[in-house]
Every structure is written in structure tokens, then in C-alpha cells.
Amino acid sequence: MSGEDDARPGLPAETGRRDPARVFGEVADDYDRVRPAYPAALVDDVLDYAGSAVRGRRALEVGAGTGRATVAFAAREVPIVAVEPDAAMADVLTRRIDGMRGVEVVRSTFEDFRPAERFGLLLSAEAWHWTEPSSRWARAAGALADTAALALIWNNERVDDPARRAAMLRVFADHAPSVVIRDEPVVPDDVWRQWPGEELSRRSEFRDLASRHYRVRRTVSKAAYLGLTRTRSQFRMLPAPTRRDLLAALSDLFDDEVPLLVDTALVLARRR
């Protein structure tokens, strides 16, 4: 969502061909700084939904990144095993949780992670689309205790000005036509017709499907907006000269500030 590429990863960076699922660490500090925070009410909603399932059990976070969601849950005294495969992202996360109790960082993909316990909650913020499609639901069900909760979260940021949004789309079409911008928010009426809702609703391991939707308007500096663009996987996969020209063209479009509409979708389910 939000302009992310949900194509499955290719080869890891070490082979020379970069993996679109693993490019975030190239800009880990910027990523942590410029990506909009998740709404505080979302944490309340997840914990309300999970109810007693989280008592006495830890939560598992898949693709914890720099910990933007992790710290919000840890601050509510939810003990968390935060699984993150990228070294640079995990380094920021480890720094961020310094002094916080109850967070264990595991440097691994979800696919390679072998849980030694059943969790009361599995949460994944802007990362579930990077997990292996053929195994993710079964893996999630296997990691969760009976009646435990699944919470999948995505932010969607859109330029909150029709003329400048149209101009931004033209810049991408001109400079990088391969980039697919999906900046339409997931709305309640559509959530079970689109991925992941539509796929999740067909899984027999889960019940009590629900969603919550949040919207805030934020004005960010042009530098922060360009920084946000630099953290997108599809942008990072472009050749360096294309990235440079694209950023210059985007910079010409905006004054000092960029109005953003930030929509957050939370998809919830319970393990049978």
C-alpha cells in the first residue's frame, strides 16, 4: 500500500541484486524519522480486540523495522518478540528500545523464525506484504495460541491537494513509469474485497474479522516529503540517475510545505 511494491523479494543484496523487501535499511535512520507515526488510538483498538489473549503471553511482531510500532506496544507493557531481518533496521530498533523492558529483537525473516512459544498477538505494520505469500497465513496461525489476535497495519499517505497530487503522478509517469502509485486509502466498504482482507476472509484458521480506519491531516516540510519518497521500496529500486531526476522534479512541484492525508487501516482477526 502507499506506493509500496508488494512483489515478492528477489535475491538478497549480498548477491549483487537487491531485494525490494530489504532496501529499507539503506535509509534506516531517515525511514525512522520521516515515516508518519501510527495513531495512538490504534494501539488501544488492537489491545481491546486482543483482550485476555495477550495476558500471560508475548506478542510477535513481524518485520518490526526500526520499531515504529514496537515501541508503541512496548510502552503499553506488551512484551514483544520483534522479528526483523535487515541489520540496519534492527540496529535502529535495538537503539530505540534501549532501556525498555520486555522487547526481544530477533534478527530473522518471518520464514526463518522458529517460535518456541505460542503468542497472544501477532502484529505486523507495513510489512505483511513482504512475507512469503504461500506460507504466511499458516505460519501466523501456527505461531498464535487459540483465540489469539492478528493485527495487520498499513499507513497510506496521499498529497492532500488535487492539483499537486496530479502533478506528482505526472512526474512519476514521466520519470519512472514502472512505479505503481497506490495512494487511495483502504476504506471500510472495500477492506474485505482487497488484499489482505479478501485473502484472510477465506482462511479457515481465522474468525471474527474486523477493521478499523483512521485519518489525520499533516503538513510536512518539503524535505520530509522527499525523504518519505526516498524510503519507498519502488523508489529505491530505480537506477540512481532516475532517482536523482525524480527527486529534483518533485522538489520543483512543491513550496516549503506539503499537505498530506494519512490514512491508516488496521485489519484484525482471531485465531480459531
Ligand X SMILES: C[S@@+](CC[C@H](N)C(=O)[O-])C[C@H]1O[C@@H](n2cnc3c(N)ncnc32)[C@H](O)[C@@H]1O
Contacts with ligand X, residue ranges (CB under 6 A): 21-22, 24, 35, 62-65, 68-69, 83-86, 89, 109-111, 125-127, 130-131
* Of 28 and 53, CB closest to ligand X: 28
- Which region holds residue 188: left if phi is over 0, alpha if psi is between -120 and 50, else beta? alpha
Q: How far is the CB of 262 from ligand X (least distance, A)?
A: 13
Q: How far is the CB of 20 from ligand X (least distance, A)?
A: 9
* Of 179 and 254, CB closest to ligand X: 179
38, 125 Cβ separation under 8 angstroms: yes
Q: How far is the CB of 35 from ligand X (least distance, A)?
A: 6
Q: Report d(CA 96, CA 82) in Å as an integer.
A: 12
Cα 59–chain centre separation: 17
Which DSSP helix (H) or strand (E) runs through 45?
A: helix 40-50
Q: Report d(CA 230, CA 241) in Å as an integer.
A: 13
Contacts of 248 (CB under 8 A, 6+ apart): none
Query: Which residue is at the shortest CB distance from ligand X?
Result: 65
Nearest partner of 6 among 230, 228, 233, judged by Cα:
233
* Of 14 and 255, CB closest to ligand X: 14
Q: Is the dihedral of CA 30, 112, 3, 40 positive or negative?
A: negative
* Of 107 and 118, CB closest to ligand X: 107
Q: Looking at the DSSP assignment, which residues form a beta bridge with residue 125? A: 153
- Which region holds residue 267: left if phi is over 0, alpha if psi is between -120 and 50, else beta? beta
Q: How far is the CB of 135 from ligand X (least distance, A)?
A: 10
Q: How far is the CB of 86 from ligand X (least distance, A)?
A: 4
* Of 47 and 254, CB closest to ligand X: 47
Q: How far is the CB of 91 from ligand X (least distance, A)?
A: 11
* Of 86 and 168, CB closest to ligand X: 86
